[in-house]
Structure 1
Amino acid sequence: MTEPAHPQPAPGADRSSDLAEMLGYLAACWDEERRLLARQLHDSLGSSMTALTMHLALLTQHIPADNKAMRDRSAQMKTLLANIIETNRKMQLELWNDKLEFLGLKAALAELVPAWGAANGIKARASLPDDEGSYTRTQGVVLLRCAEEGLRNVAAHAGATEVEVVLDDDGEQIMLTVRDNGRGLPQHDAARESNSCHGLRLLRERARYLG
């Protein structure tokens, strides 16, 4: 029986490659949908809330000084609008960080890490390279998503008081590290966690797809 001149790849290898390619495509589609939704929130809801704030300020000027009830109600409405605007801003940021698109990965990480730390009551800092680096849009998105998912896991499971996000780029290899001073995953729970932490598994596959 004659062996083939060129060994054929195992069927499983082809399937894994196809799945990785499909996953990369689907993830890129998800990111684009998130970007578009964030833009819609900014352009429609954000603009409407800003207009309402201006109209409320104009109406408040016409409330008589001695009408305390109306002035109190106006102040409550102003506070409510401010809260809605801030919630909208946070939703936009969770969906898509415009700094990634316009200023680059370093700027996006520099904003993400301290904001996450303030929101979770954890001391957080980002250690970033001096140079911006020439990352493709896909690379930047995946690295930012990895940082976000890593921080989410720290908040949910680590019980940490300090966390550091480190981006290393020597020109040939890019490494993103999220380290904290919390508790690690107990060895007997590792298998269960590997089955349940779909977010981390998805990011691992996305990073593998990038090469």
Structure 2
Amino acid sequence: MRDDEASEVLEADRAADARTMLVTVALAGGVLGVATSVQAVLVLGAHSASYRGLDPAPIADLAVRVGINLITVLTAVLLASRLRIQERRPFAWPWLVAVSAGAAAVLRCALQLATGIYPVQDAAAYLSDAAVAFVMIAAVFAVALAVTEALSNARLAERRRSMHAAQASDALASLQQEELRVRRAIAEQLHGTLQNRFVLLAAELADLAREVDARSAQRIDGVRAELDELRERELRSLSSSLYPEQLDRGLLPALRALMARVPASIGVDVEFADHADALEDADESLDVGRRLVLVRVAEEGLSNALRHGNATSVGLTLALHGERLTLTFADDGDGVPASPGLSGLARLRERLAGFGGTLDLTPASGGGAVLRATLPVG
């Protein structure tokens, strides 16, 4: 985080703490002030001569007391705003609270004397009332500080969790990029250097076949043909499994290249649903990691359909629904087994979840299975 960003965050935190402190003091103090006023007039006022005796107008008396208490609460709020107690070190809180509570209690006592709630000569009454007010205002400040500190700690804890999640996400992205780099490097090595070695070996065997008798030449030609088949099928397949063909050009070309390798005996239906331009734009917004995981979903669906499902036809659909890309792979095979081994799908589901996507395997309505992956784009 840059210095200016850190400064902005610090100022925002201070403002949030100040709001919490002031609102808590105002609410707690206001509720307590009204409650004590009602108690003094409606409960104690009817039984104690020291509270103006039996006042014939309790509503007026109640209004005066409520006004004094609200002024006291307003004073406490102003002191909290001015002193910024929540920003001080904890060891300074007690004396700051004591000063604020004392000032508010003295003001309250002066207002009570000025309005005649207590007679000046009855020092014991108004001093004891001031002492009670001091304790109550100090308690209000203590509650406000506790609430402010709790919310501040919760905010910091949430920020740490977010930071750790972002760090984990960055680490995962770095690992995925490194995996892609290694995959691409190995695939290029297989496709280039190793295949060239096979070609050179085949050429060498062809030269050798011309220098031996017919029977030996036939055996050498057989070995050379097997090497060519190994190069064309196994090495190319291994290279594609490590890093799918056309992946750097986009998801759509990679999916087309995958489905083009399906044996001719299997029916293939590839549909890139409506809004071709929107699909192209979505494809461009996908990084290589997201393209790869979607191609892996299609490969897993194809593998399950042909190896385990005895499918005779497969279908691949790619569609864009709002901000989510949906890849659907369907087949007409044996359907979803009762207890499927989903180790490959479980890994794909985890990888998709890392990108905010989902993966589901369900039976098809007419028989067979449907593998559906969704992934946010943009």
Within-5 A mapping of 1:60-79: 60=209, 62-63=210-211, 67-79=213-225
Q: Alpha carbons of 1:151 and 1:20: their partners in 2 closer, same or farther (altered >3 Å)?
A: farther
Separation (CA, whole Å) in 1 of partners of 2:164 and 2:294: 25
What is residue 81 of structure 1 aligned with on the other side?
227
Instruction: Give the AA of the match of 1:79.
Output: A
Separation (CA, whole Å) in 2 of partners of 1:125 and 1:209: 30
User: What are the Cα deviations for residues 102-141 of structure 1, in whole angstroms up to 9, with x where unaligned?
Assistant: x3221211121231x318x532332225443313222211
Q: Which of 91, 114, 120 is equivalent to 2:238?
A: 91
Q: Does 1:114 align with 2:263?
A: no
Residue 81 of structure 1: CA displacement? 2.0
Give the alignment's TM-score, normalised by structure 2: 0.45
Say if 1:160 and 1:182, in contact at 8 Å, map to a contact too: yes
Structure with the bigger RCO (C-alpha within 8 Å, sep 6+) is 1
SS of the aligned residue for 1:78 comes to helix
Larger Rg over CA atoms: 2
Residue 170 of structure 1: CA displacement? 5.2
Q: Which of 269, 272, 280 is equivalent to 1:125?
A: 269
Within-5 A mapping of 1:125-204: 125-128=269-272, 130-131=276-277, 132=280, 133-134=283-284, 135-169=286-320, 172-185=323-336, 189=339, 193=340, 196-204=341-349
Within-5 A mapping of 1:46-65: 46-60=195-209, 62-63=210-211
Query: What is the number of residues matched between the two proteins?
Result: 199
- Indicate the RMSD between aligned Cα atoms, in angstroms: 3.3
Gaps of 5+ in 2: 1-145, 357-378
Gaps of 5+ in 1: none
Q: Which of 23, 44, 49 is equivalent to 2:193?
A: 44
Q: Alpha carbons of 1:28 and 1:141: their partners in 2 closer, same or farther (altered >3 Å)?
A: same
Give the alignment's TM-score, normalised by structure 1: 0.74
Separation (CA, whole Å) in 1 of partners of 2:171 and 2:245: 26
Say if 1:159 and 1:182, in contact at 8 Å, map to a contact too: yes
Residue 176 of structure 1: CA displacement? 0.7
SS of the aligned residue for 2:319 comes to strand
